[in-house]
Amino acid sequence: MLHIVNRSPLSDCALESCLSTASGGDILLIEDAVYAATSGNAFEGKVRAAMGRFKISVLRPDAEARGFGDRIIEGVSPVDYADFVELVAANKTCQSWL
């Protein structure tokens, strides 16, 4: 299934909850959750540790808006809005960790 997270990992436990609850599948980081996938942030290690279990993507326009288009960690795939739709369509279910 697809897990969508839109909160910063350093000010909200949404991504933490997602990672500890979900067993696997796709994770898409959008809006303020894109900070989780930026190099050097305190949550980076947890994102890296989750890469084996999940396929992690980040919405590129949200990363660029925040000035981090060029600082996405390796192993996280930058995607655009069309890819977002594809991800939703490709998964039977979707959980938004609001």
Partner 1 sequence: MSSVKKFMFVNRKAPYGTIYALEALEVVLITAAFDQDVSLVFLDDGVYQLKKGQQTKGIETKNFSPAYRALADYDIEKLYVEKESMQARGLTEEDLLVDVAVLSRAEMGALMDEQDVVMSF
CA 54 to chain centre: 10
Among 69, 88, 91, 95, binds partner 1 (CB under 8 A): 69
- Which amino acid does the sequence have at 29? L
Contact criterion met (CB below 8 Å) for 54 and 23: no
Q: How far is the CB of 2 from partner 1 (least distance, A)?
A: 20
**CB 23 to partner 1: min, Å:** 27
Size of the site for partner 1 (CB under 8 A): 25
Best CA proximity match to 51, nearest among 30, 69, 80, 72 = 72
In the complex, the residues that contact partner 1 under the rule CB under 8 A are 6-8, 10-11, 31-32, 35, 38-42, 44, 60-62, 64-71
